[in-house]
Amino acid sequence: MDKKKELDTILNERMPVLVEFFTDLEAPQAYAVLTDAEKYVGFLDDFMKNQEVAEEDFQWIVTRIGYFIGEYLVQKFQGCWMENETPGSRTFDRIVTGRFSRLSNQSAMVDPFEVAVAFVHSSIPCSLNQLLQELNEELAGA
């Protein structure tokens, strides 16, 4: 799949997938994750804290956590989903979040799926809240 189609797929699927995910988790007003993701960090943190993800569920959960992390960053730092077209960059040719208008470093980018993989692979108990705080600090200092 070319990157334009991949980006279009992410942008068109993330919204219903995130709402469905939070609906399935019985989050209150699950649709609000699309406008106030920060409000759902604690909810998802509690859900994932002691989860052991089976190999057959790995990609499914990483996709949803990645969508959430990406949406959280886009909202928090007023950025967007985009293809990294910077040759030589560690995340070159990947779908990332970036162009964060609330950061002094306008070239800062995050691959939310890479972050999600690291999170799902982290030892139990894990903390999405802590991971996002560290990511916030890293981005603020970038």
pLDDT in tens, 95-121: 899 999 999 998 899 999 999 999 999
Q: Which domain holds residue 127?
A: 3-141
Domains: count for the chain: 1
The answer to whether residues 47 and 61 touch, using CB atoms and an 8 Å cutoff, is no
Condensed to tens digits (0 to 9), the pLDDT of residues 19-54 reads 999 999 999 999 899 999 999 999 999 999 998 998
- What is the average per-residue pLDDT within 50-73? 94
Q: Which long-range contacts (CB under 8 A, 24 or more apart) does 114-119 make?
A: 115/66, 115/69, 116/62, 116/63, 116/65, 116/66, 116/69, 117/62, 117/66, 119/48, 119/65, 119/69
Structure confidence at residue 25 (pLDDT): 93
Share above pLDDT 90 across residues of the chain, in percent, rounded to a whole number:
70
Three-class SS state of 80: strand
**Alpha-helix residue ranges (DSSP H) falling in the chain:** 3-24, 41-48, 58-77, 112-121, 128-141
Does 1 have pLDDT greater than 80?
no
The lowest-confidence range among 5-14, 35-44, 63-72 is 5-14
Which pTM does this prediction carry?
0.89
